[in-house]
A and B are shown apart, each in its own frame.
Chain A
Amino acid sequence: MSYLINQTATCMPALLGTADCSYADMALFIVLKVVFALAAIIVIMCFAALSVVAERKVCAYIQGRYGPNRTAIPIIAAIPLVGNFLKKNGLMQLVADGLKFLLKEDPLPAHVSKLWYLAAPIMSLSPILICACLIPFGVWWDSGGAAHPLAAANIDVSLLAVLAIGALGVYGAIMAGWSSNSKFPYMGAIRASAQVISYELTMALAAMSVVLYMGSVSDSPLSLFEIASAQEQSWFFMTQPLAALLFIVALFAETNRLPFDMAESETDLVSGFHTEYGSFKFGLFFVGEYGHVALGSALFIILFLGAWNPLPYISYPESWGWISTLLGFITFLVKISAMIFFFIWVRWTLPRFRYDQVMALCWKCLMPLALANLVFYMAIAAI
């Protein structure tokens, strides 16, 4: 890891054309960066895949059913204990679902606008994968004792970058709705665009109150790593509870999860913006939604729930070295799982809002609250 930091220092200027370094070094540097980016993407994608199973299992638990517990892959299911465990917990259902997406017929309706119809699933998934590279999953210390984030890319405006690039995912929904050339997807797309623009404001304003506080203690207040490192004592949801509440509500709306899933409300729009999609293209939308949930959870945890610190006022000591790093990483993953469980819990507990209620809630309730919250923390920062 220390090697990578040195490589970054020498190769990054070379990549940008302001310095020289040998081609072998640069090639190695690029390969390492790609490997790290893939690792970050794999973490988020694993969460996306597992939360599909979790959704079915938790939903079944809440409704007093068993959920998927029959699907079995012949040889693996025969392994004692492990096979039965996988079968009972529906983990083999995951493989079956994935294969179904891949192997079913891939329809291309005649009335669609082909280019955007094909591009829309990619546009909805790829921003999430880019954002995954910016999330710090933990912290590690080099031999000098300086802390570094466990992230594929560490830039000093990573919070802004995640919010900006994550917001581009809405183009997937919009273009899917428009290119499908059909009433229900079209309405879903219009709802998605209006909703995302509205709630993005609330989300950014809520995050801004954290940034305001960070501005007084750090030189790069927009860096996710700095924000996470500032929570070794008290977590931000304790000092800024209203901002945390506003952020999580806006997050539900941004990820199109149930109390706010206007874009694909099954009761009135069949399936919303992806009504005309089937097979693997639908699978991409599906994975994109859960990836968005996992990423949003990670963002919320970094901003308000203490990132990789286990409890408020307790953190893994630096002197433990890589053991602390590993424990922090595991803590972060456990927290993401808990957040995903919370998302699913809310989905199967609250009924869907009406569309005008969604808009009224945002503009008449959340926005003024977020502004008042921001002004309050501004006043505190000024004093």
Chain B
Amino acid sequence: MADFSYYIFCAMLLGGALVVLLSRGYVNAAMGMLCSMLGAAGLMVLMQCYFLAFVMVSVYAGSVLVLFVFVVMLIGDVKENSSIWRKIGIVGLWVVLGAFVGWVSPMLSQAAAGLSKTTEVVFLSQAKNYGLVLMTEFMLPFQIAGALLLAAMIGVMVVAKNPSRKKARRELV
């Protein structure tokens, strides 16, 4: 049963990625990405990381992707007509990269297991455990990520600030 759902979620994840690569319209690509994210969340549920899974759904599928679709709808859906060779190339790249990740990830996970201080397996299903680890062991990466996001946010505000108001004031003066 677990194997069965594992393969379904993997198919969602990889199939969604393939749709993102191959689809002509932006909205189709965004929906492929949604499918991919839901697949990833499903895999996290299988690993009993419920908190991470639902944060994934809430933040990425529920908010970020809605923003993507919103922007796509504002600027209009463009249909790209790419050649068949390009598509074949993309699928080839998808297969090669997938195989590479499949080859590398066991080594990476072994290395990560070697680096990790905790010897016993701790399931971070409880939100409280997750918060504690985030605020103690991984405090520095957490703060750096927060600072990066803050910088990005301020940057967006500066870029998006309405220039006409300043111009109007200058003209008044």
Contacts and interface: CB of A to CB of B under 8 A. Distances in A.
A160 B27 CA distance: 27
B143 interface: no
Interface stretch (B56-64, B90-98, B111-119): B56-64
A222 B63 contact: no
B27 A178 contact: yes
A178 B48 CA distance: 36
Given A189-B73, A190-B70, A164 B62 contact: yes
Nearest to B52: A157
Interface string B38-52: 000000001010110
Given A26-B1, A116-B31, A171-B34, A157 B127 contact: yes
Question: B-side binding surface: helix, strand, loop or mixed?
Answer: helix
Interface residues of A, number: 35
Contacts of A99: none
Contacts of B74: 190
Given A15-B2, A178-B27, A190-B74, A155 B50 contact: yes
A171 B70 CA distance: 11
A223 to B, nearest CB: 9
B164 to A, nearest CB: 17
A246 to B, nearest CB: 18
Interface string A140-182: 0000000000000001110011011101101100110110000
Given A26-B1, A220-B128, A222-B127, A167 B31 contact: no
A103 interface: no
Contact of B62 (A155, A156, A167, A215): A167
Contact of A167 (B1, B58, B77): B58
Interface of A: 14-17, 26, 116, 155-157, 160-161, 163-165, 167-168, 170-171, 174-175, 177-178, 186, 189-190, 193-194, 196-197, 200, 215, 219-222
